[in-house]
A and B are shown apart, each in its own frame.
Chain A
């Protein structure tokens, strides 16, 4: 106590086992808080998803303004190297368990920016993705279907990208450092 411990300290492995595992997963699946951070053009489809027309709140989802309280980060569309750095910071500031949803064709294979000099092609080299939603752009129905699938995975206890990230942190960090040349941020952002 007394000192900030979120910098330069490797996280310990978190294990979730206990009598409450089932009810935990049930609650997590029904209360997904999405950090309100749009990385690319796909963010425009998140607004109708969360407002009156498609109303994602009926599944217990809502937008929160701070990564500390969020469970899900939606990588919505293409990721430039500059944005990737921010996404990594936001992702690492979220508290476990946390999930990544990749939206659109760009995080899968680069999409229409496949030969761009500053957009990354494959997101899962840098962050553990739990759900891919394809399309350019995916409509809100597709996004909701993706979230429903994420809920099923969490219910079954299979959405464990956050565990993989901590286990294979060195590999992810190596990939990230390869592409982010000016790593002017703390080694770890928990």
Chain B
């Protein structure tokens, strides 16, 4: 177990680094799409270091201190529950039977901690962002849960490892090809989870400055930054496990997560922003209906 903890810790460090690097790459790609040079791909590392070493003179109470920790723990916890390479002792982290449900709880935990902390910071933009974020979460969770339920019923298991094992045996066994409608619903829901641009209503830089973390500075912000990065990587890895057949070695894991990372990025760069009610009603109609097609299909077939 001690060895396991050690390797999971190393995987966590690697996950944070990979997340920060992906963030830098996304800034670079966005810059090239806007016909400018953009920062280096390592810009996020520099930012995090600078923020980590800045002084802070603000205090708003206990929850204010705990919120960034919650955020980091939410991200790290999700990451540690998802197996990166299934069957590999060193890279399957702490995944165990029945973990998909735990993962779905963990994905919400970071946001809830953040919501409490942001509400205590007392800035008027923070509760606006928080209420929007929670409403949006109610929107995006529905199609995601429908598609996850489809996979659970089909593979007769709730463990991510089981779902990965059920997809082995060639590219056409991947769930993105066997259950395309569920996959479409989940990938649209991923856009909401990543707050990528048509659904960017939580931070909403044009409207409420930066939303929930308005009052957070310095070290707090660097924790949030790294928590956000590793949370993003956790979601990419989860989607890879659920729909792209997992990975047999690290190289495949990098390649597939990078492909999944490009999807919200390209959507972000070309779209304007929804309002909250538009966003939630979109999630509750189109991806939900698309996901229901596969649910109905397996209901009729079986």
A→B interface (CB under 8 Å): 1-6, 11, 14, 20, 23-24, 27-28, 30-31, 52-53, 55, 57-60, 64-66, 68-69, 71, 95-97, 190
Flag whether B131 is at the interface (Cβ < 8 A). no
Given known A2-B61, A27-B49, contact A95–B38 (CB-CB < 8 A):
no
Task: Specify which chain B residues have a CB less than 8 angstroms from the CB of A97 in the assembled complex.
Answer: 54-55
Assuming the contacts A1-B61, A52-B36, A57-B27, asked whether A68 and B214 have C-beta atoms less than 8 A apart, the reply is: yes
Q: Which 9 A-B pairs have the closest CB atoms?
A: A65-B209, A55-B36, A68-B217, A27-B50, A58-B37, A190-B57, A31-B50, A27-B49, A96-B55
- Taking CB atoms, residues of chain A closer than 8 Å to B62 are 1-2
Most buried by A among B35, B47, B122: B47
Question: Cα distance A95–B217 when bound, in Å?
Answer: 7
List, in ascending order, chain A residues with CB within 8 A of B302's CB.
none
A5 cross-chain contacts in B, Cβ below 8 A: 57-59
- Asked if A23 and B39 make an inter-chain contact with CB atoms under 8 angstroms apart, the answer reads no
A58 to B38, CA, bound (A): 4
Could you tell me the distance in whole angstroms from the C-beta of B120 to the nearest C-beta in chain A?
A: 10
Chain A contacts for B58, CB-based, 8 A: 5-6, 68, 95, 190
Cβ of B205 < 8 Å from any Cβ of A?
A: yes
Q: How far is the CB of A96 from chain B (nearest CB, A)?
A: 5
Chain B residues whose C-beta falls within 8 Å of the C-beta of A190 in the assembled complex: 57-58
B235 to chain A, nearest CB (A): 24
- List 5 A–B pairs whose Cβ atoms lie within 8 Å, in order of A's numbering: A24-B53, A27-B50, A31-B43, A60-B47, A190-B57
- The contact string, 1 if C-beta is below 8 Å from chain A, for chain B 35-71, is 1111110010011011101111111111001000000
Rounded to whole Å, the gap between the CB of A71 and the closest CB of chain B is 8
> For chain B residues 1-52, which have a beta carbon within 8 Å of chain A?
27, 31, 34-40, 43, 46-47, 49-51
Across the interface, name the chain B residue whose C-beta is closest to A64.
Answer: B210
A147 CA to B237 CA, complexed, in Å: 40
Instruction: Annotate B195-225 by CB proximity to A: 1 below 8 A, 0 otherwise.
Output: 0000000000100011001111110010000
